Structure 1
């Protein structure tokens, strides 16, 4: 069963899927040993724990690819991978998707921050115009060939408010994203 097939099966279950994250093969191995059915390869954790740098756009495709390749060598868990902004424009996003698919990932998360991006919980972040972000999500969807999930993340909640974040999620869904993720809700109701 492929990574996307395993993830689809996990998400079809009636209970909430808890998917912890890490930034190194060791952390993902520990997630697996604790009995979780999937793992998230976090950009923040990769930057901090693998490369000892802040999550401010210093990690590029090659670094996340290296971590995913090493992680894939020690686990068969479906991996959901934080690919930041896709590492550039629509051509870079397509390259990122193809590269991650070659490594057998289950899902690729692309966010809508401007470059250089920041950790989603830092102040002073900005998002791309909605149409630019939407084109990147559409490029990710068009580039996939193995049923890989595309997770469209918006960081718009902080700088632009909940209504803008919801509008972006609708646009990303219409562009073909499988999962929409609003970073930084500000209440339990949100």
Structure 2
């Protein structure tokens, strides 16, 4: 059976990640330069074969490959791989789901607060009311200006003309109660 290099590399990488095996000081799979990969730990079968029988040819092949592997390995690290129970995998998945769920909840809570804070500021604070000074009465309309504005006395004739013209052109509507001139 032929396997392309990238598939093999990816499979070994996945195996190392699952076993938490580093490439610099491996405990399970060692990279042999220009040759491939080498298993450097002992392996024990934990489940019987499906048929319950091992064919003689398979036994011979298995034994010959084991002896070849043993001769290639100069230093064998004696490590047994204990199978993980299914419960721990389920716990990992449920822990990841709970973490993801709590992250989603925290994100939603932060978005809600980010929207709520400006809304509270707008609704619960009252803007400072501007203070006005009275400029005069033109055509029965009170004219005011903000206190912090410069003097508008030179504009009185223009303001008076504007108020009168507005009242003349809008006879059918109500006259303004007050006018605020800002210069």
| Structure whose alpha-carbon radius of gyration is higher | 2
Quick check: TM above 0.5?
no
TM-score normalised over the length of structure 1 = 0.20
TM-score normalised over the length of structure 2 = 0.21
